[in-house]
Amino acid sequence: MLAMKGVGPKTIRALALISELIYGVKYSIKDPARFSFAHGGKDGIPYPVDRENYNRSIEILHNAVKDSKIGRTEKIKAIK
């Protein structure tokens, strides 16, 4: 993934946080709200939303589901 053009630390961080939710990893007791800031906050706190990074994360996840070897119904559920 690091070899993909445009994928940097922000994208990796966001995808790591998202993957914790997808795979059901126990959330952090110290910072349970961190998932809501995977791509930034709409009010600029803790930092402004990086739309390019946000869209790149969506594209990576969408392509992963599209290319997966699961049934059509499961793909639709995953994308939703």
Q: pLDDT by residue (tens digit) across 23-40? A: 777 656 566 566 666 777
Residue 29: predicted pLDDT: 53
How is residue 39 written in tokens? 């791509």
**Total domains in the fold of the chain:** 1
- Asked, for residue 45, whether it belongs to a domain, the answer is yes
For 56, other C-beta atoms within 10 Å of its C-beta total 21
* CA distance to 5, 46, 65, 74, 76, per residue, from 80 (Å): 26, 27, 11, 10, 6
Q: Count the helices and strands in the chain (H runs, E runs).
A: 3, 0
How is residue 70 written in tokens? 């699961």
pLDDT in tens, 38-72: 777 778 877 788 888 888 888 888 888 888 888 98
Q: Provide the residue range defining the domain that includes 19.
A: 9-79
- Asked, for residue 15, whether it belongs to a domain, the answer is yes
**Considering the entire predicted model, what is its pTM?**
0.53
Residue 1: predicted pLDDT: 61
